[in-house]
Amino acid sequence: MILVELRLMLRKRRVWLCWLLLCALPTLVAVLLATTRLAPPPGRGGAFLSAVVSNGQIFPAAALALVVPVFLPITVAIVAGDTIAGESSAGTLRYLLVRPVGRLRLLVAKLVSVAVFVLLAVLFVTVVSYAVGVVAFGFGPDASLGGGGAIPSLSGVELSPADVVFRTATTVGYLALCMLALGAVGLLFSTLTDSPLAAALGVLALVVASAAVQPLDAAAAIEPFLPTAHWLAWIDLFRDPILWADVREGALVQLGYVVVAFGAAWANFSTKDVTT
């Protein structure tokens, strides 16, 4: 079922459109910055944007900071909201279930497909924005002939290429986990309704509510448990030495969301009457 699910997903035009749009936004920003050379002043505008102009190799970090707060969650909401509700509204859910595909197995396959979607989404953004960044802004001030200039950490220490690859891979994994947590919530919502749109909007409502509550002093007690609270912790991976505290806490919270949301999806879906 998992392979079937992946093949189904990879043949959906909507999925490719999501990936394309995710890569298009950073590319647009890069083109605008490269043509105008008007980087936002340090401390304003998107994270890293001011540093990008002098070293294109930092652009993946800037691109991730651009898409993580809104764009990436929207695509995750669309894809995750579609998982069960999409099959339900298309009528294919009943045929999968009488094939038979066990309900738990179907949920697992759907979660795996969402995980693959988010992982590829983050990966595509990283790879595309690296290429775009280097083309638009070059390899940085001390680029040797043929490129490959050093990348500085936020702490001002230069990072070795192997170190950069490790930190970037960790970032991709961490962000994919954050988005998977959202995807698991989307899967839960998708079992609660037959409308993929309603499920996707539910996920977005959660993101907006969480982002609205997060800065309030009054919400300090629940702040660490909000889904959006740790989305920017990956920036700590580019400090020297790496500051693991928030990344670790974030990963645990997001894993908690995956477990709880998936458990609730299972509890709801395994005895749900399929009437579509």
Partner 1 sequence: MGDSRVTRRWVLVGAGTAVLLGAAAVTLPATASADPEDLRTRILAGLPPHVGYAESTGRLGLPEIAALEQVTALFTSVTRLRTRYAGPEAWRVDELTPAGERDTYRLGGREYVWDFGANQLTVVSGETPVRLPRAADLVPSELARRLTSLTRADPVSALPARRVAGFDAAGLRITPADPDTTVGRIDVWCDPASALPLRVEVAARGADQALLFTEFREVSLSTPEITVPTAPPGAGEVTAEAADLAGALRQLDAAPPPPRLAGRDLVPLAGGLPGVGVYGAGVSGFVLVPASRGIADRVIDGAPAAGGTVVDVPVGRAAILTTPLLSVAARGGIRRGGVLVAGTVAPAVLDQALRELPGRRP
Partner 2 sequence: MILATRDLTKRFGRVVAVSGVSLEVPRGVRFGLLGPNGSGKTTLVRMLLGLVHATSGHIEVLGEPMPKRAATVLPRVGALVEGPAAWGHLSGRANLRLLDAAGRGRAGRRRADRVDEALDRVGLGGVDRRPVRAYSLGMRQRLGIAAAILREPELLLLDEPTNGLDPRGIQEMRALLTDLNAAGTTVVLSSHLLTEVEALCTDVGVMDRGRLALTSSLDALRAPTGRILVRTPDPAGVVGVLDGQVLGRAGELVTVRGTDPVAVNAQLVARGVPVSGLVLEQRSLEQVVLEITGAGSDRVDRARSEGPR
The single residue among 91, 100, 147, 263 that binds partner 1, judged by CB under 8 A, is 263
Least distance to partner 1 from the beta carbon of 100, Å? 18
Question: What's the angle, vertex CA 121, arms to CA 119 and CA 126, rounded to 5?
Answer: 95
Answer with the entry of partner 2, partner 1, none that 209 interacts with (C-beta below 5 to 8 A by kind): none
Binders of partner 2: how many residues, by CB under 8 A? 25
d(CA 196, CA 90): 10
Least distance to partner 2 from the beta carbon of 104, Å? 11
d(CA 135, CA 191): 44
Structure-block tokens of residue 272: 């749900």
The single residue among 17, 40, 54, 95 that binds partner 2, judged by CB under 8 A, is 95
Q: Is 149 in the site for partner 1 (CB under 8 A)?
A: yes
First-to-last alpha carbon distance for the chain, in angstroms, is 21
The single residue among 54, 92, 160, 276 that binds partner 1, judged by CB under 8 A, is 54
Answer with the entry of partner 2, partner 1, none that 7 interacts with (C-beta below 5 to 8 A by kind): partner 2
Q: Give rounded-to-5 percent helix, strand, coil for the chain.
A: 70, 0, 25
Answer with the entry of partner 2, partner 1, none that 92 interacts with (C-beta below 5 to 8 A by kind): partner 2
- CB nearer partner 1, residue 89 or residue 170: 170
- CB nearer partner 2, residue 92 or residue 160: 92
d(CA 46, CA 63): 9
Give the position of tokens 């891979």.
169
Helix (H/G/I), strand (E/B), else coil: 227:
coil
Q: Is 252 in the site for partner 1 (CB under 8 A)?
A: yes
List, in order, residues 6 or more apart from 197 with CB less than 8 Å away. Answer: 81
Other Cβ atoms closer than 10 A to 155: 11
Least distance to partner 1 from the beta carbon of 256, Å? 5
d(CA 226, CA 212): 10
The single residue among 25, 34, 39, 97 that binds partner 2, judged by CB under 8 A, is 97
Binding site for partner 2 (CB under 8 A): 1, 3-5, 7-8, 11-13, 90-92, 94-102, 271, 273-275
